[in-house]
Amino acid sequence: MATIFSPWPLSCFLSSILLLLSGSNVAHCEMVEAVLELNDTASLANVTGFVSASASWTLRLETEGISSERAIRISTSSSYANLSFPLLISVRQGRHISSWTLPFIEAGHATPVVSKTLCPLFNKPMDDNSTINIIYIDVSTPALNNVSFNLSASIINQYQLRINNPVNEVVSASSPVSYVFEYPEGVDRVLVKVTSDSMTCALVSVQEGLCPVDQLLDYPDHRGTFQTMQLLAGINIKRPVHQNFIYIVVSVYHHDNCSQTNHDFFDGLVTLNTAANYNPTFISSNRLQELSKTVTIEISHTLSYSGYAVACVLLVVAFGLLVIGIGIFFIIDEFCCYRRHVTYKFLKKLKEEEGIEDIFEAVDGEEAEGKKRKWDKCTSYLKMACAIICGRQYFNKLNKLKEKEEKINQSKENNNEKGVTGDEEEETDFSLTKRRHSYNRAVSDEELGITDHLLDQNPDTNTATNDTDTATATYDRAVSEELEDIKVTDSLLDQSHDPNTDPNQYTNIDPNHGANTDQNHDTNTATNDTAVTKCDRFCSLLKKTNDPFINELTFVDGKKFQDSYNPYWIYLSVIVVFYSLPVYQLMLTYQRYVSVSGSEDFCYYNTLCSHPLWGLSAFNNVWSNVSFLFLGVLFIFLAIRRRSIYRVYESINIYYENKGKPERKVGVPQYFGIYYASGVALIGEALMSGAYHICPTGNNYQFDTTMMFVLLTLGIYQLFKSRNPDIIPSPHKLLLLLSLLILFIAFGVIYPTMAFYIVFFFIYELGVVWVSLQLYWRWKAWDILKEIRTDIICAVESKDYAKLRERFTPSAPADSIRFFYLLMINVINFGWSLGLLIIRPRDFATNFLFLLIVNYLLSLSFVLVIKLPAHHYKNCGRKKALLKPFIYLSMSVAFWLAGFVFYTQEVTNWLDSPAVSRNNNKECFLFGFYDTHDMWHICSAFGIFFSFLLMMTLEDHVEFKKRSEIRVY
């Protein structure tokens, strides 16, 4: 019911007469007063009137008997108000005042209708003990002519929200909605979730319990914590310090494209195209109805701090179980495993043959027989565990060795029963003993390729009349066939150590055959070159390649060799520390800005699974990166332990070097400085990724990808260095190349223009082609190109173009595997970079990162293909991979596939606007704490960890093989 007293015509007339008689030029009249009453029986009041510069309205709204859980909503409209002389509405509620204009202007759009919810009825002066609430509403305008308006007041019955009690509401551009939520006892933090099926752009804000409640979009700096939304918004809000309740406000923009909002960091405001407000566009009533959306507002509990602790502790426990598993692995490997027994057996052999005392004592101080006794005392279950961990081939060969020994003993008994003479028995035992030595050597060094079928080809030892020479000849033929097939040299010389026997009578093989062959070839080539001119060196370019053996490369074993790689991890550690300090300073500044301004559109969070703690808005996204930190430290410890084991082989090789027997050196050199650098890079990734997730944006994304580039570069470098110990690029050059690469990528992030992509295409393709030539020609591409230039000059001067055609005549490549691998690398890189040039994606860093990942996978595939057991690759062939690298490969693939699945389920995307990105937000995936992106962090960390372990153990199968028999690839 509305009671209106309007003395305007008479009072205005009398006031005008009096003012004119007094000589005043300004006409003035009294205000119009009206009284509106709202109660339980009258929930709606409406009034229509006219205002002008000479007359204003004051409405007195009285409410009585209305519960505190309800609120009053004021709606105003005016079809005659204009931009030059707008209508001004002011509401006085106790000590609080709020106001707005008609038409209402927002982001260059003007609307003649505005609705607003007043503060709830319980929010009144504390000294007011009356049951009646009085609200004053003033309506005025500077217009000289009369302007009509309409004002209505209504009661909102359900104004207070409760936990897990969703509310549906229709929101329009001119009619925002607001609700109040009072925190229950024992609840300190809640999640405000707003969902909708409409793509209309809206603003969701959560404000402290202060009046007036800012609901309109013309004061963006007083909204508390706010987000733009299309389909989803979620705000994790803590209980205010001075109040026990908060306001939830949903407003709709006058445009339906949330990407139009501009987030200005320096102003601390969301600027909504204020320049357009000076010339706004009127919105029709039909358009206003279109700019509306139905929203569902829901309050839910958040994860408690005890839940935080459980989730964090469980991740630490998982890492602890990993450490325990690795510890058990090493205990079995150290004390019982057959592979370790073979190592000590090899050292015992060196001690007996070479008289080496210091090396063996430096290893453990125990006798090899003691290790063998430990192995013999192991239970069958423990031996089976050793077989699983160390490689079933060792376990099987040990059992086969015992079977052969039983056959030997049985043959001796048969010979005794058949009356074989002592000389015949001695000869037979000698031949059998020799075969046993051969098999023992094959067990301790499986790469010699002498397999079990050699023993099966032996002559019948059960026949007493068997001729020893025939048996020896048959055995020699079998050995010769095996050696010819895999081109392994000097094997039987190492297998038979009888002082009364000349090993060469069984082998007829030059012990230095593997090294001397290439040396003689080089000598002959040098001699021939002196007899011809430099113009006679024409040959096919594809044929001009050379695959030497490891022993032919120039490098120094020992401490000096390892010291040359130590600067990698030292310099990288310094870079990580000094790079991370300003990064964290910047990111914490961003976090502080978000907390102070309340704008959650500045950072891209998964609002449905963001758990704040210690001032960080998404502590779970930062904490999940601890997996990189933990595994990086663990990998460094594993590398240090491996370094202590490798000292055995290093000492052996140094001994051979000092004795003038370099051809007897064994194994592939290890690069522990690069292993340490890989662990440091994992730690750096933990720091950089954690910093990025403090406030993830497109501008900060480079911090996350920087160490990824370092990790991939080190991974490719390790694969290449596994058989190329003589090429040691300076750490200064490698790190300088990485810094230039990162700087170049930064330009791509900031300026993704056509000019940048053109420059990138040409520079990158030239680099790929040059590196391919270097890899194919064993890092001699520059010398070969000089030869080509010389050959062309010679051909032109002598006019002998036939040789020039011969030079460039296509022919089958000398190294087909490497050729087709590099060809595939060039084709894929060319196609990818050309695609980037055509598409010009905004996210250059991610696309380039994927390109590096593809190159790493291709390089790893190339190495694994070479090591396939059924593949023949020159003298590398028929390698039996150890089970440990296979396990690491399987674990790496499993974690990478799981990580890829989680990565594709994106929860944010900074390429879109914050509102559009928020549409992809998802609930937590694990323990109510980790989302799918956190799972990507964990899985990718384990994937990188096992990838590094795979690369560190890829050459374990040649640790006892002579370097003169190990090819470079």
Query: What does the pLDDT average to over 912-922?
Result: 88
Query: What does the pLDDT average to over 869-891?
Result: 58
DSSP 127: T
The CB density around residue 914, as the number of other CB atoms within 10 Å, is 26
- Per-residue pLDDT band at 898 (split at 50, 70, 90): very high
Distance CA 85, CA 69 (A): 38
What is the residue type of 623?
Answer: W
What percent of the chain clears pLDDT 70, i.e. is strictly above it?
Answer: 61
Instruction: Note whether 910 and 917 are within 8 A (CB).
Output: yes
Q: Please, what is the average pLDDT of the chain?
A: 71
Q: Which single residue is written with the structure tokens 């053996």?
A: 549
Compute the Cα dihedral for 52, 56, 62, 66 and give only its sign: positive
For 117, phi and psi rounded to 5 degrees?
-95, 130
Instruction: Note whether 719 and 859 are within 8 A (CB).
Output: yes
Give the β-pairing of 292-301 and 189-196: antiparallel
Predicted confidence at residue 673, as pLDDT, reads: 84
Higher pLDDT, 376 or 741: 741
CA angle centred on 514, ends 511 and 519, rounded to 5°:
110
Q: Which residues pair with 193 in a beta bridge?
A: 234, 298
Q: Decide if pLDDT at 682 tops 90.
A: yes
Closest to 637 in 3D by CA, of 315, 945, 957, 860: 945
Q: Decide if pLDDT at 859 tops 90.
A: no
Predicted confidence at residue 385, as pLDDT, reads: 52
Closest to 291 in 3D by CA, of 301, 299, 283: 283
Instruction: Out of 271-280, 405-414, 903-912, pick the least confident.
Output: 271-280
Dihedral (C-alpha) 694, 698, 703, 708: value to the nearest 10 degrees?
A: 120
Start-to-end CA distance of the chain, whole Å, equals: 95
Angle between helices 844-866 and 816-839 (to 10 degrees): 170
- Per-residue pLDDT band at 582 (split at 50, 70, 90): very high
Predicted confidence at residue 662, as pLDDT, reads: 72
Instruction: Out of 136-145, 476-485, 658-667, 937-946, pick the least confident.
Output: 476-485
Q: Which residues pair with 269 in a beta bridge?
A: 264
Closest to 138 in 3D by CA, of 174, 92, 76, 103: 92
Q: Which single residue is written with the structure tokens 């050292």?
A: 347
How far is CA 458 from each of CA 349, 450, 462, 833, rounded to the nearest angstrom?
26, 13, 11, 60
What percent of the chain clears pLDDT 90, i.e. is strictly above it?
Answer: 11
The 3-class secondary structure across 932-954, one letter per residue, is HHHHHHHHHHHHHHHHHHHHHHC
Closest to 648 in 3D by CA, of 393, 351, 940, 442: 351
pLDDT tens digits, 798-823: 776 666 666 666 555 666 777 888 88
Instruction: Note whether 954 and 803 are within 8 A (CB).
Output: no
Predicted confidence at residue 486, as pLDDT, reads: 36
Higher pLDDT, 158 or 462: 158
Query: What does the pLDDT average to over 24-47?
Result: 59
Higher pLDDT, 13 or 384: 384
How far is CA 552 from each of CA 389, 521, 547, 615, rounded to the nearest angstrom?
34, 13, 10, 60
DSSP 565: T
Predicted confidence at residue 396, as pLDDT, reads: 53
The residue count of the chain comes to 969
In sequence order, which residues have a C-beta less than 8 Å from that of residue 774 and are 6 or more positions away?
A: 780, 781
CA angle centred on 303, ends 298 and 305, rounded to 5°:
145
Q: Which residues pair with 932 in a beta bridge?
A: none
Predicted confidence at residue 693, as pLDDT, reads: 92
- Per-residue pLDDT band at 945 (split at 50, 70, 90): very high
pLDDT tens digits, 79-100: 888 888 888 888 887 777 888 8
pLDDT tens digits, 315-359: 999 888 888 887 777 666 655 554 555 555 555 555 555 555 544
Q: Which single residue is written with the structure tokens 């310094």?
A: 574
Closest to 217 in 3D by CA, of 272, 140, 156: 272
Q: Decide if pLDDT at 5 tops 50.
A: no
In sequence order, which residues have a C-beta less than 8 Å from that of residue 816 and are 6 or more positions away?
A: none
Instruction: Out of 526-540, 718-732, 750-764, 836-850, pick the least confident.
Output: 526-540
Predicted confidence at residue 639, as pLDDT, reads: 87
Compute the Cα dihedral for 298, 304, 310, 315 and give only its sign: positive
Predicted confidence at residue 67, as pLDDT, reads: 64
In three-state secondary structure terms, 822 is helix
Distance CA 875, CA 489 (A): 10
Instruction: Out of 104-113, 198-207, 389-398, 872-881, pick the least confident.
Output: 872-881
Q: Decide if pLDDT at 681 tops 60.
A: yes
Instruction: Note whether 374 and 383 are within 8 A (CB).
Output: no
Instruction: Note whether 424 and 940 are within 8 A (CB).
Output: no
Q: What domains appear along the chain, each with residue ranges and CATH number?
A: 1-157 (2.60.120.380), 159-302 (2.60.120.380), 314-514 (no CATH), 550-751+871-965 (no CATH)
Structure tokens, 432 = 């059998």
Q: Which residues pair with 50 in a beta bridge?
A: 148
Higher pLDDT, 119 or 342: 119
Query: What does the pLDDT average to over 758-767?
Result: 89
Distance CA 319, CA 313 (A): 10
Q: Strands, E, within 112-224: which ranges?
A: 113-117, 132-140, 147-156, 160-161, 167-172, 177-182, 189-196, 202-208
Give the β-pairing of 57-64 and 132-140: antiparallel
- Per-residue pLDDT band at 699 (split at 50, 70, 90): confident
pLDDT tens digits, 141-192: 888 888 888 888 888 878 888 888 899 988 887 788 888 888 888 888 899 9
Predicted confidence at residue 581, as pLDDT, reads: 92
Q: Decide if pLDDT at 36 tops 70.
A: no
The CB density around residue 786, as the number of other CB atoms within 10 Å, is 11
Closest to 461 in 3D by CA, of 434, 438, 442: 434
Distance CA 214, CA 237 (A): 17
Query: What does the pLDDT average to over 819-840?
Result: 87
Instruction: Note whether 536 and 711 are within 8 A (CB).
Output: no
Predicted confidence at residue 937, as pLDDT, reads: 92
Q: Decide if pLDDT at 470 tops 60.
A: no
CA angle centred on 468, ends 465 and 473, rounded to 5°:
125
What is the residue type of 399?
Answer: N
Predicted confidence at residue 336, as pLDDT, reads: 52
For 372, phi and psi rounded to 5 degrees?
-65, -40
Distance CA 782, CA 790 (A): 12
DSSP 213: -
**Does an H or E element contain 714, and which?**
helix 701-721
**Does an H or E element contain 578, and which?**
helix 566-597
Structure tokens, 689 = 């990724």
**Does an H or E element contain 35, and which?**
strand 32-38
Structure tokens, 196 = 């909708």
Buried b or exposed e, range 866-875, using 16+ CB within 10 angstroms: bbeeeeebeb
Query: What does the pLDDT average to over 58-63?
Result: 80
What is the residue type of 678?
Answer: S
Instruction: Note whether 485 and 875 are within 8 A (CB).
Output: no
Query: What does the pLDDT average to over 633-653?
Result: 79
Query: What does the pLDDT average to over 903-911?
Result: 87
Predicted confidence at residue 669, as pLDDT, reads: 79
Higher pLDDT, 921 or 129: 921
Predicted confidence at residue 299, as pLDDT, reads: 92
